[in-house]
Amino acid sequence: MHIHILGICGTFMAGIAAIARSAGHRVTGSDAGVYPPMSNQLAVLGIEITQGYESSQLNPAPDTVIVGNVMSRGMPVIETLLNSSIPCFSGPEWLSREVLGHRQVLAVSGTHGKTTTASLLAWILECAGHDPGFLIGGISPDLGVSARLGTGKVFVIEADEYDTAFFDKRAKFLHYKPQTLVINNLEFDHADIFSDLDAILWQFHQLLRMMPGEARIITNANDDNIRQLLDMGCWTPVETFSSLESSSATWTVKAEVLPSGCEQPRSLLKIMEQQGQSAEVAWQLAGNHNAENALAAVLAARTAGVDVETSLQALSRFSGVKRRLELLGTYGGVSLYDDFAHHPTAIRRTINAMQPVRTKGRLLIVLEPASNTMKAGVHRESLASALEKADQVWVYKPAGLDWNIDEALKELHGVQTCDKPADMVAEITQYSQPGDHIVVMSNGGFQGIHTDLQQMLSCRT
């Protein structure tokens, strides 16, 4: 069968493409913007990509078209598709129909940490011999790809609350029908889709209403918004986790910083259960947020029959996820990291996780407000406080912003704003010194600034 995917280079749709290809289908697709890591994954799979959304790509007609949520009415290919008799589905609907119906679905949801937690969970199951299927919004070098069909019973999915398609405005995760659901945390995000936090809670409430009574929900015990969600109605047993020692959670985790011998932070995880069970493991990630991600993955794996000790052994060999505080290398004596943070909470957590290595140099943050929510200025009041522990900050000012970045950051010392990435690269290269740590934060391509920094720092004399 020939499947054509519209919007194929998004993380979710690229995963759909990989799974469809593994299932034996011929897969093609189109998109308006192409950048790593998903473009690299599609190239390795040999999937032909058309640039743009002209209607000619439907001639000859494919057997099925899968429509990404970047598509909208008025696009030539969409109008041609709707006027044709070609069967079309959203990505979540196709996945539910063709893949998830006969699998044990373990879904990871929440505002922050979905990709890391889902990657950890899939890796644990892989190490335990389950050969899981998975679809994750990022790539872990350990797994090699963002999505895989798998031959085992279990399927891990990053359960996004973003809307499904232009013809289906429900959250994606309402299609998945999970037997295990992780909710890491809940905050307001996706302001282009949701009017407020209540609108997000309502989507999660619909998901909880669909959960079987014999399923399992795993949540952060110290998140007030999750407690509000559960108070709206929950008919499924709940297991809780926390990184706070004073928490009443079923399970707690503590992260102790370890000497790493390199520029990548490391920590010792100590996991404790209310009834006295405890275990610990050294691993390559740092920060309390990653400790919570790890514990959530361990608890989710238990619902698939993986014991805690086996999970911890897998964690000890986990090397991380691309674009999640990923160390790209050291250039001219300066360590350069790539991070996906695009929300004040995520920015703050990444900066906190970097504190253990600051004794060897300064922490320099380079931020692109690329998400729709950041562009709209929804979080402008909390952005400065999220950045305050950095030694120096550069913030890109893209055209068309609805708010004044300079005004929002006026109380923050050591910050520069710039509307040209090339100028930022020149300033950062001149300012940085051997031993410094540069963290580039963006959920987009940032106009290739990572590569430019690598080149300029390497050539510096």
pLDDT single digits (tens) 73-119: 999 999 999 999 999 999 999 999 999 999 999 999 999 999 999 99
Q: Which pLDDT band holds residue 358 (cuts at 50, 70, 90)?
A: low
What was the pLDDT predicted at 224? 95
What is the longest distance spanned by two Cα atoms in the chain? Answer: 64
What was the pLDDT predicted at 217? 98
What was the pLDDT predicted at 443? 83
Q: Which pLDDT band holds residue 453 (cuts at 50, 70, 90)?
A: very high
What was the pLDDT predicted at 111? 92
Residues 6+ apart with CB under 8 A from 259: 266
What was the pLDDT predicted at 359? 67
Looking at the predicted structure, is the pLDDT value of residue 461 above 70?
A: no
What was the pLDDT predicted at 275? 77
What was the pLDDT predicted at 271? 92
Q: Which pLDDT band holds residue 342 (cuts at 50, 70, 90)?
A: confident
What was the pLDDT predicted at 261? 57
Q: Which pLDDT band holds residue 288 (cuts at 50, 70, 90)?
A: confident
Q: Tell me the fold of 2-91.
A: Rossmann fold (3.40.50)
Q: Tell me the three state secondary structure of residue 29.
A: strand
Q: Tell me the fold of 326-459.
A: Protein-Tyrosine Phosphatase; Chain A (3.90.190)
Share of the chain above pLDDT 70, in %: 96
What was the pLDDT predicted at 260? 61
Q: Tell me the three state secondary structure of residue 240.
A: strand
Higher per-residue confidence, 450 vs 376:
450
Question: What does pLDDT average to over the chain?
Answer: 91
What was the pLDDT predicted at 302? 97
What was the pLDDT predicted at 322? 85
Q: Tell me the three state secondary structure of residue 434.
A: coil
When pLDDT is averaged across residues 291-317 and rounded to a whole number, the result is 96
DSSP at 225: H
Q: For 104-143, b where at least 16 C-beta lie within 10 A, e where not — what string?
A: bbbbbbbbbbbbbbbbbbbbbbbbbebebbbbbbbbbebb
Residues 6+ apart with CB under 8 A from 379: 343, 344, 373
* Whether domain 99-315 has CATH 3.40.1190.10: yes
Strands 147-148 and 154-158: unpaired
Higher per-residue confidence, 257 vs 27:
27
Between CA 233 and CA 192 the distance in angstroms is 27
What was the pLDDT predicted at 41? 79
Amino acid at 38: M
pLDDT in tens, 217-252: 999 999 999 999 999 999 999 999 998 876 789 999
Nearest to 402 by CA among 375, 436, 441: 375
- Return the residue matching tokens 């993955």: 297
Strands 334-339 and 238-242: unpaired
Nearest to 113 by CA among 218, 229, 227: 218
| pTM score of the predicted model | 0.89
Q: Which pLDDT band holds residue 263 (cuts at 50, 70, 90)?
A: low
List the domain boundaries for the chain. 2-91, 99-315, 326-459
Nearest to 346 by CA among 382, 310, 307: 382
pLDDT in tens, 13-58: 999 999 999 999 999 999 997 666 677 778 888 999 999 999 999 9
